Structure 1
Amino acid sequence: MTAPPSAPTAHTPGAHPERRTGIVAPPRLSRARTAVAEHIVRHALARLPLRVRLTAAEDIGLGGPLMDIRDPGAFFRRIGASGLIGFGESYMAGEWDAPDLVGVLTVLADHAADLVPRPLQRLRGVWAPRRPAAQLNTPEGSRDNISHHYDLSNDLFALFLDTTLSYSSAVFRGFPAEHDLLPAAQHRKIDRLLDAAGVGRGTRLLEIGTGWGELAIRAAARGARVVTVTLSAEQRELARARVRDAGLADRVEVRLSDYRHVTGDYDAIVSVEMVEAVGEEFWPVYFQTLDRLLAPGGRIALQVITMPDDRLRASRSTYTWIQKYIFPGGLLPSTEAVERVTAAHTRLRTTERVRFGAHYAETLRLWRERFAERAAEVEDLGFDAVFRRMWTFYLAYSEAGFRSGYLDVQQLLLTREETA
């Protein structure tokens, strides 16, 4: 796939330091702490349906996908120093690998709740890294957090997404799917949301989280008047160009704005996989904002990635590999968390819910395979080998979450409880 019409040309390789990720040498760690980490990790891996190769002469595990630990000393030191962040960093550094990376990560996701011994889980606050204060999703922090991921390069995303440039779960008619089916599957997802929100001719629609504009374009083609907001300057530039190319500039306004600063009344509000970037501290503000902006009788359609409520409660304050390298400030809600927040802080109630986590696993597989196929082109954009391993791990890690059922994705319809 080539970059879409109006996409900016590629930047000069090396012009953006964030594209050259690098990875630090394994941390210095006391022998005692390294030994404790090795004991815990060995014990956990030995009980899993994996084949873990530690040396040419030593395999542990119950049998299954191969996890090849090429530098056990560095692997255990990284985990001893920073837990699961170290586990991901060790992959980035090439200290372990797997012919079937998704298979290995799916096994680990299946056993996420009991990988760490329960006594240590109760002491998570002592050993687990804490999220940096700089990642708090204030208006300024949100702008920086979003820019970290979405302003990397429009050209990068165009290499592995489909022609709709949709960066969220598609809805397929059946599995397995081919990459050529992604545009229709993405439109199916968008149409479900627009139908749920009742979007048609004359609808005043607000979209929170523009992406690269496909939903706004599709809504405007129905006759809606669309205001769509994003914090990504790169996304806004390309979304505006795509809207113009579609001949819909008179129906779509793309704003560079925080959701908290939006004003007006809207018949419908849609948001696709954006609440995950809001941060738990601001979930009440986010849903209160939706409540404030919704006109009487209006409808809200959200697509949301969720995690189990018990895992959310256990890990909500832990600093994760995903937060450090991929989505600063991000946190997935649970179904129960959304219900608690809306009940406590708004008049909004969930009236419909559709789950389709298996479709996200398939979407991620297609993205991951295309990313691997285009590795040379990713390198030509200036992204180094460590960055490419980081993104391979991110896409595989996410796919495994959905394949295991640890993660889910839902479309929610929210309406307001009107008072007499």
Structure 2
Amino acid sequence: MTQQAFHPAQQRPVPVDPARWPDVARVPDAPVRALVAERLLRRVAHRRRLRVELSGGRLLVPAPEGAPVLRLHRPEDFFHRIGATGLIGFGEAYQAGDWDSPDLVALLTELATAPETLVPTGAQWLRRLYVQRQPETERPSTANARRNIGRHYDLSNELFALFLDPTMTYSSAVFPTGPGGRPEAGWDTLVEAQHRKIDQLLDLARVGPGTRLLEIGTGWGELALRAAARGARVVSLTLSEEQLALARRRIAEAGQADRAEVRLCDYRAAEGEYDAVVSVEMIEAVGRPFWPVYFSTIDRVLAPGGRAALQAITMPHERMLASSETYTWILKYIFPGGLIPSVRAIAQTADRYTGLHLSYCRPYGAHYAETLRLWRERFAERGAEVAELGFDQVFRRMWELYLAYSEAGFRTGYLDVQQLLLTREGNAR
């Protein structure tokens, strides 16, 4: 290592509970890999023109003013973590406070642009040193799915209420578009934008008076409420007990309990026949081995002439294939067991295992970037209230990174979000 250790008085260490965060508390001892990680960061900083700041204002490599900033508080710990576990270590280093950035989204956006070029082609074999496989206990089988969902969605309804809008909608909104097709997003218009998204999906599925609607993935009940207000009869499935309780209460308070029912039920156990199926950003939690079961379930419960409208986060097909066996920081800490599909994978799975076909697809990733920006800013503003709920600093930094990372993914096009329609032959119109 060429730089001196960062003086601890210049950055107060993040208190880490080793029982709660064992891999954040433990710094791996990987001196050779740490040297490789340092050299790789030098290369990335030079090629991407990043400003990597060390103690005393020193730079890892020369960089222009105004470049995205990666500020290393504990360089040695940072490089050992990355050397040992790659991008998982990068995330854990942020949780531990080993690094920061004055503009986290700008830094992550630069790193998320053409990520396949970050590691030189001749050094791709290095991935084998740190890439991990998904633990069997997180595979989203029937036995594990409820635990996976609970780790994220059962954290606390009060936590989500701090940064979501009053509809408690935790998926991309659809904003009005201004010049150049850019979304015009603001906190004061987020409720309207979430209702626009829901209404577009309900319209796509042709939900109206008397429609028998199955919703796979309840959230906190806003779509079920809006469908019931149209006169539909809704059955909504969730594996989150926290969401179940609040969604049922909201439906009862709205006077729609006779039209909307929420069940604690795995999608694989869905029963009945429905004119429409709607599922919003739930397929990401299904897992690739279970996509055939997911689409077969939709096909099984969908009545003749029925329509299925999905909202799905997607990634380009080749990137999906390359990452499908990789255990990532997001999977370890945020969404265990999941995989973001590609549009091609959705279409191919439906074609192969069901009588359904993809007949409509509308992308709008820029709207998700703006939705995430609003959530991220709100989460930061209400950090003290998050702490009052009992979430420690490691958790808060974890969620700061998660929201910023996701926003960067949509800003670069590494991620997208789609509204899709699945129909049987002759039913697309």
TM-score for both structures, normalised by structure 1: 0.92
CA contact (8 A) 1:47 1:62 kept: no
Partner of 2:122: 119
Deviates more, 1:267-276 or 1:348-357: 348-357
Letter in 1 for 2:134: R
SS in 2 for 1:192: helix
Partner of 1:353: 361
Shift of residue 30 of structure 1?
A: 3.5
Letter in 2 for 1:271: S
Cα displacement string for residues 209-256 of structure 1 (whole angstroms, at most 9, x for unaligned residues): 000000000000000000000000000000000000110000011000
Letter in 2 for 1:52: V
Shift of residue 18 of structure 1?
A: 12
Shift of residue 125 of structure 1?
A: 4.6
CA distance in 1, matches of 2:30, 2:263: 51
SS in 2 for 1:24: helix
Partner of 2:172: 169
Partner of 1:60: 61
Residue 394 (structure 1) aligned with residue 397 (structure 2):
no
CA contact (8 A) 2:31 2:80 kept: no
Letter in 1 for 2:381: E
Shift of residue 62 of structure 1?
A: 4.9
CA distance in 2, matches of 1:260, 1:349: 20
Shift of residue 39 of structure 1?
A: 1.6
Aligned sequence identity (%): 61
> Following superposition of structure 1 onto structure 2, how do residues 1-16 of structure 1 map, counting pairs within 5 Å?
none
> Following superposition of structure 1 onto structure 2, how do residues 357-376 of structure 1 map, counting pairs within 5 Å?
357-376=365-384
> Following superposition of structure 1 onto structure 2, how do residues 29-44 of structure 1 map, counting pairs within 5 Å?
29-44=29-44
Ranges in structure 1 where 5+ consecutive residues have no aligned partner: 1-16
CA distance in 2, matches of 1:163, 1:390: 24
Partner of 1:3: none
Residue 203 (structure 1) aligned with residue 203 (structure 2):
no
Shift of residue 388 of structure 1?
A: 0.5
Cα displacement string for residues 165-199 of structure 1 (whole angstroms, at most 9, x for unaligned residues): 00000000134422121110000000000000000
Give the count of matched residue pairs: 403
Shift of residue 121 of structure 1?
A: 3.0
CA distance in 1, matches of 2:281, 2:380: 24
CA contact (8 A) 1:230 1:257 kept: yes
Partner of 1:49: 49
CA gap of 1:20–1:124, structure 2 versus 1, over 3 A, is closer
- Equivalent in 310, 333, 341 of residue 333 of structure 1: 341
CA distance in 2, matches of 1:264, 1:136: 27
CA distance in 2, matches of 1:264, 1:353: 27
Across the aligned residues of Structure 1 and Structure 2, the Cα RMSD in angstroms comes to 1.8
CA distance in 2, matches of 1:25, 1:379: 19
Partner of 2:231: 223
SS in 2 for 1:60: coil
Shift of residue 131 of structure 1?
A: 1.0
Letter in 1 for 2:29: L
CA distance in 2, matches of 1:120, 1:407: 25
Residue 250 (structure 1) aligned with residue 258 (structure 2):
yes
Higher RCO structure, 1 or 2 (CA under 8 Å, sep 6+): 1
Partner of 2:284: 276
Partner of 1:9: none
CA contact (8 A) 1:49 1:107 kept: no
SS in 2 for 1:47: helix
TM-score for both structures, normalised by structure 2: 0.91
CA contact (8 A) 2:30 2:83 kept: no
Residue 134 (structure 1) aligned with residue 145 (structure 2):
no
